[in-house]
A = this chain, B = another copy of it.
């Protein structure tokens, strides 16, 4: 879930799956930084994941940046138009 570049893509799994991926990633490497990326409904999960990780597991983890944006998604089958979907990135930094 967390690749070497320090990015975790948040999807529809339970938040704890991603929390564990972050903890593993930060403890396995010397990385001091990890970025959560989410789209659409997963944005709420990304905030939950960041908050759970910070409050319960890695107390010295700070939210160093949050950004939001919009991406165009290709039309789904049976639809004519592409859809716009909101995106969010949360960067967490270990002090």
Which residues of A are in contact with B by a Cβ distance under 8 Å? 40-41, 43-44, 47-48, 50-51, 55, 63, 66-70, 84, 86, 88, 90
Contacts and interface: CB of A to CB of B under 8 A. Distances in A.
Contact of A47 (B50, B51, B55, B68): B68
Nearest to A63: B68
Q: How many copies does the complex hold?
A: 2
Contacts of A51: 68-70, 84, 86
Contacts of A43: 43-44, 47
Nearest to A54: B70
A68 B88 CA distance: 12
Nearest to A42: B44
A36 to B, nearest CB: 11
